[in-house]
Structure 1
Amino acid sequence: MTSGDELIKREWLSPQFVSGILLAVFFGVALFFRIAIPYDQVFRGDTIKFTTADAYHYMRLVDSLAHNFPSIIPFDPYLSYPQVFDLGSQNLFVFLLSGIAWLIGLGSPTQHTVDIIGAYFPAIMGALTVFPVFFIGKALFNRWAGVIAAGLIAVYPGEFMGRTALGFADRDGLQVLFTALTMLFLILAIKSARQRQLSFSHLRNRDWAVITGPLAYSLLAGIFLGLYLLTWTGAFLFLIVIFVYFIIQYIVSHLRQENNDYLGFTGTIIFLIALVMFLPASRNELFLGPLLVALLIPPVLSGISRMMVKKRMKPAYYLLVLVGFGIAGLIIFQVVNPSLLKSILGYLVRNFVQPAQELTTAENAPILFPFGEFSLELIWLQFTTSVFLSLISLGVLTYLTIKKREAEKTLLLVWSLILLVFTLAMRRFAVFLAVNVALLTGYLSWLALRYAIPKQKAVAPSNAEKKMKGKRVKSSSVQKTGASAGKKLVRPGLALAVIFFVVFFPNIGYAINDAGQAYFASSDAWGESLSWLRDNSPEPFGNPDFYYEYYKMPFEYPRTAYAVLSWWDYGYEIIRTGHRLPNTNPGGGARGEAGRFFTSQDETFAGEIADLLNSRYVIVDDKMVTGMFHAMATYAGSSYAEFFDYYYVRQNNAVVRVVAYYPEYYRSLAVRLYAFDGARVVPKSTFVISYRHETFQDGSRYKVIENTESFSSYEDAAAYIQRQPSGNYRIVGNDPFISPVPLEALEDYRLIYSAKSDPFQSEAGTIPRVKIFEYAK
């Protein structure tokens, strides 16, 4: 009986009953956070608004599959204009949503049905993760560690909460659920096989009493791994976790001269099942290669181990032999298929070393360096106090695992450390790390509870107690017993209170905020504008129902096809809501060309890009000239510092950072379109700043504004700078929507629509949040 169980002794209040009630409560809490809190952000009258750009891509595929079920389009002509690309085969997420919609809609689901299912699905997946987390904690530690971990995963803020909330119709919630289930059954398979001392002799003798449990768990682990591989191309990074674990555990078992046959049994079954499931869906060597290598590892390592034992070779040589086999394998791989090896290694590198352009996307940034500088703020916002508690737990668990030699706990260590590395390299992996942090924190919390709850010693009844058996006990004795029981509950009660306020409470406020904000949802103005564009612009394929058709190869775009040019964040929404062809999208496209177009200082140069891309319409919004502008500059091959920069100025006895906008910013096509509608601009005044360079303690330099001069015309300001002896003078603006420089009218762009809903408020006045221009040279 565990320490937690000692508090619960009555049959009607058994540990199983209490933990079941708590799990149901945590599941309900998880649903409440993910559905009730963000409900008004997603359901806006008759409209259902998705809260991430990628959701519009998946829902577009769901639209198509729901109308052509069970045939999914092999390519999407809306996605990659003017080229055609294979969509790939890992679309289990799309099949699940479409299949549910198809069944509920009796083979003909409405758009509203499809949208509702897409909105609720991620929230349900996120809430369901409570259950495998509990059972993992129970299998590794005990029931109460699992209960605490389940409660934590229900309320963790950050990536996990945001990516499993209502309206976030992306694969993340399903992926976390599949990985948790895979690891649950892998842990159970390893644990049961190790405890039963499963060996190959049991297989030869068909000893089903020993084989059945590990076999069932291994099959289930393989099934969920296969489902995960069919959900996401990046799922092969998760193979690294299992792959590395088996190698480490083989080495540990061989050095300790322990039986490792159970590793070969479980590993082979898991990878074989996953391969069998994945093979019909894809013949892509980039993904099949690692899966085949993973399948070979367990039998090869088992064979090497058995051979060395048979020849009585020193166990220490095992590691050297494995290194030799690994090097030989890489050499053979390089000789047989060098291009495949290069592709696999490149795929791994791309997921850890991001180019400058990709780092402009928040989810791709290192979690400790979100803006290029070290900060604990972002990782704190993911897990709050669990950041530190899980690291302590990791140290404790490492020590105890080495001491007790439990293979399933080694799996948790390897799993946690690799995901920690992934998350340090790229913030988006925090959604997976949440499971590990919850388990580690739950384990440490249970250790604290165990030490807080006094252990009851079994004492033989005295003669007097035996005589009292069956007789009425005096009320004073009952009172003493009650008082004693009350005292025994004080320490556990205090421990539970401390755990709640230290472990749970810090997460709740952040979780409510993250669930209710819908940070990545586009404004209502975008939906309004794209609906207008769909109804008031020519059909690029001549038929509005073409959006729902099943497309076949070979395919050629008709002469009527044209593109819509905006920044890539809005590409998927342009497809799904506007039924139009964007030049770029979150998955790729002409990002560099779009960046050069919107930051262009010359209308002629911008027109050449628009002609090259066959862009007929241009859409701009407030974010493109504020928060997204640095990304456009980066993709254009320049830097934000060419358009604006950060300065420090003394205000009210304090030094604050301000943004100074350069003439190049106002001359960019994006600003000329959005802020000034492409019209001629004559500034009322122009500012000139003088500044000096200073140095921070870390050696980095910064600029401090010494003085600001105001001039009635741009020409007077430019003449003033020419007369200065030093070069530390610049013409700047302090408002992104009030130009300090004259601008000529644009000739080839005509404003045809301005969004009416949700206008943008600036010091220059109220500005429509989204504007559509027709490009007609």
Structure 2
Amino acid sequence: MDTYELAPVGFYRPPEWIYPYFYMGAYSYMAVNAFTPMQLWEFLIYFPPFLATLAVIPLYFIGKMLYDRKAGVLAAFIYVFDISNLSRSLGGDPDSDVVVILISTIVMAAMIFTYKYANDAKRLDKKLLLYSVLTSVVLWVWYSTWAGYWYITWLFTGFVVLKLLFTILKKRSIKLGWRDTKYIIISFAIYTALSFALTVPSYGDTKIGAALTGPIQFQSIKGEDYQFPNVYVSVAELQQSGGPREIIERTSVVGGPAILISSFFLMIYTLIYLLYSYYKKRHHVDTVLLLLVWFLGPFTATIVAIRFSTLFSAPLAIGSAILLSKLVRMGTGEDKSWSD
């Protein structure tokens, strides 16, 4: 038996703790080592940056779907050079954080794409069903990637509920609100139910139960009630609560007055701009609703535990990119005012 398989020796790891990243790293090393002999520790210096860099692809499409192509390019650039991502990729950290960076962005891109199609759909056609099924497969992979998979599930649930409530208030009718959002809700229900159903053969009902209790149980790691509690000390140290000041400092690479142009504040400026644009000309409603949820969710989580500031990387990159893209559009004359 490989005593490094279960660390520390004798520590039982249930099946749901064995993530695909372990196998991905092992088999990728074997493939690369066949052509370029190197030790595993050397390979794990190059592998994380490679995976993290691939995240630029889904980030580009997210930025493009939420705003425009320039925002997609800028979001991808900002995200891949985010300080939190660099510390878990170019820093040579062989932990599973890098695959979380990649898969989480793929999941968000798939869900936004399916949402966009469902929002324009006139009926439950074959394409909508196909996109819903494909999204469920992507979600299934995500559920096996990270223990905090429920974060995106609840994030998008909040977005869909917010969209429904907003539409009801806009139409001033529950019936009309349902009419305009029913395919979004049906599609969401399909891929959510199917994705959890796909986990049953491998995990039983573990993933379903954890998704329901995850938001209120993640703090239990502070208890260090495992057989070898010292293993989790390094993680528990980052479970301390954080206020707005600590959150801003942890997500910014600048200080002093320059903090006002950090990605955190750029995100706030973007939300103000999008709300103003909607108020004036009814533009970008889906973008502002999603970014509100995507911003407030990690912000609330980080107040509880500062380590969750890493969840800010994607929304802050996209928010910053949208504002920068808007400035470019106004500078080139493509847009005449902030309301365009």
TM-score by length of structure 2 reads 0.78
- Aligned ranges for residues 227-626 of structure 1 at < 5 Å? 227-255=141-169, 256=171, 257-258=176-177, 259-285=180-206, 287-289=207-209, 346-350=216-220, 361-368=236-243, 376-381=248-253, 385-400=262-277, 403-404=282-283, 406-407=285-286, 409-455=288-334
Aligned to 1:224: 138
Structure 1 SS opposite 2:202: coil
User: Relative to structure 1, is the Cα distance of residues 423 and 374 closer, same or farther in structure 2, using a 3 angstrom cutoff?
Assistant: closer
Structure 1 stretches lacking a partner, 5+ long: 1-59, 65-75, 294-342, 458-777
Q: Which amino acid aligns with 1:438?
A: A
Give how far 1:424 is off: 3.2
Change (3 A) 1:401 1:181: farther
Q: Summarize the Cα distance change of 1:150–1:375 in structure 2 as closer, same or farther, 3 Å threshold.
A: closer
% identity of equivalent residues: 19
> Are the equivalent residues in 2 in contact too, given 1:366–1:427 (CA < 8 A)?
yes
Query: Post-superposition shift, 1:216?
Result: 4.1
Task: Please tell me whether the aligned partners of residues 189 and 215 of structure 1 are also in contact (alpha carbons under 8 angstroms).
Answer: no
- Name 1:79's counterpart in structure 2: 8
Is 1:123 paired with 2:37? no
- Return the alpha-carbon distance in structure 2 between the equivalents of residues 225 and 134 of structure 1: 19
CA contact (8 A) 2:56 2:79 kept: yes
1:568-615 CA-to-partner distances (Å, cap 9, x unmatched) read xxxxxxxxxxxxxxxxxxxxxxxxxxxxxxxxxxxxxxxxxxxxxxxx
CA contact (8 A) 1:228 1:235 kept: yes
Cα distance, 1:94 vs. partner? 0.7
In 1, the alpha carbon distance for the partners of 2:264 and 2:210 equals: 32
CA distance in 1, matches of 2:41, 2:234: 31
- 1 CA distance for matches of 2:312 and 2:235? 22
Deviation at 1:241, TM superposition (A): 0.7
CA offsets 1:95-115 (integer angstroms, 9 cap, x no match): 211222344457xx9994533
How far, CA to CA, are the matches of 1:223 and 1:241 in structure 2? 18
**Structure whose residues are more often helix by fraction:** 2
Report the alpha carbon displacement of residue 400 of structure 1 after superposing the two structures with TM: 3.9
Counterpart in the other structure of 1:563: none
User: By how many angstroms is 1:344 displaced?
Assistant: 5.3
- Pairwise CA distance, 1:361: 4.9
Q: Deviations over 1:299-340 (max 9, x none)?
A: xxxxxxxxxxxxxxxxxxxxxxxxxxxxxxxxxxxxxxxxxx
Following the alignment from structure 1 to structure 2, what is the Cα–Cα distance between the partners of residues 110 and 284? 42
Separation of aligned partners in 2, 1:420 and 1:133: 20
SS in structure 2 at match of 1:231: coil
Cα distance in structure 1, aligned partners of 2:85 and 2:335: 40
CA contact (8 A) 2:247 2:302 kept: no
- Over 3 Å counting, the alpha-carbon distance change for 1:416 and 1:250 in structure 2 is same
Q: Alpha-carbon deviations, 1:22-65, whole Å to 9, x = none?
A: xxxxxxxxxxxxxxxxxxxxxxxxxxxxxxxxxxxxxx89x75x
Shift of 1:439: 0.5
1:177-216 matches, cutoff 5 A: 177-196=102-121, 198=122, 202-203=123-124, 208=125, 211-212=126-127, 214-216=128-130
Q: Shift in Å at residue 148 of structure 1?
A: 1.5
User: Cα distance 1:117–1:401, how it changes in 2: closer, same or farther (>3 A)?
Assistant: farther
1:701 matched to which residue of 2? Answer: none
- Name the aligned partner's letter for residue 161 of structure 1: L
Amino acid at match of 1:79: P
Say if 1:79 and 1:86 are closer, same or farther in 2 by CA, change over 3 A: farther
Distance 1:412 1:390, change over 3 A: closer
Aligned to 1:92: 20
Contact 1:145-1:439 within 8 A present in 2 as well: yes
The amino acid across from 1:446 in the alignment is S
Cα shift at 1:221: 2.8
Cα RMSD (Å)? 3.5
Maintained 8 Å contact 2:75/2:317: yes
- 1 or 2, which has the higher strand percentage? 1
The residue that corresponds to 1:704 in the other structure is: none
For the residues of structure 1 that align with 2:136 and 2:65, how far apart are their CA atoms?
18
Q: Helix, strand or coil: the match of 1:164?
A: coil
Contact 1:181-1:221 at 8 Å conserved across structures:
no
Structure 1 residues 428, 269: closer, same or farther in 2, change over 3 A? same
Amino acid at match of 1:101: Y
The offset of 1:408, in angstroms, is 5.2
Q: Classify 1:227/1:440 alpha carbon distance in 2 versus 1 (closer, same or farther; 3 Å).
A: same
Structure 2, unmatched stretches of 5+, are 225-231
Structure of higher RCO (CA pairs closer than 8 Å, 6+ residues apart): 2
Per-residue deviation, 1:284? 4.8
Q: Is the 8 A contact 1:156 1:382 kept in 2?
A: no
Whichever residue aligns with residue 364 of structure 1, its letter is Q
Question: How has the CA–CA distance of structure 1 residues 174 and 452 changed in structure 2, closer, same or farther, with 3 Å as cutoff?
Answer: same
Asked if 1 retains the 8 angstrom alpha-carbon contact of 2:71 and 2:324, the reply is yes
Residues 612-651 of structure 1 mapped to structure 2, 5 A cutoff:
none
Q: 1-side partners of 2:254 and 2:40: how far apart?
A: 31
Q: CA offset at residue 138 of structure 1? A: 0.7
State how far apart, in whole Å, the 2-side matches of 1:129 and 1:265 are.
Answer: 29
Structure 1 residue 438: deviation in Å? Answer: 0.8
| Letter of the 1:140 counterpart | L
Distance 1:410 1:401, change over 3 A: farther
Amino acid at match of 1:269: I
The amino acid that maps onto 2:29 is A
Secondary structure (helix, strand or coil) at the match of 2:253 reads helix
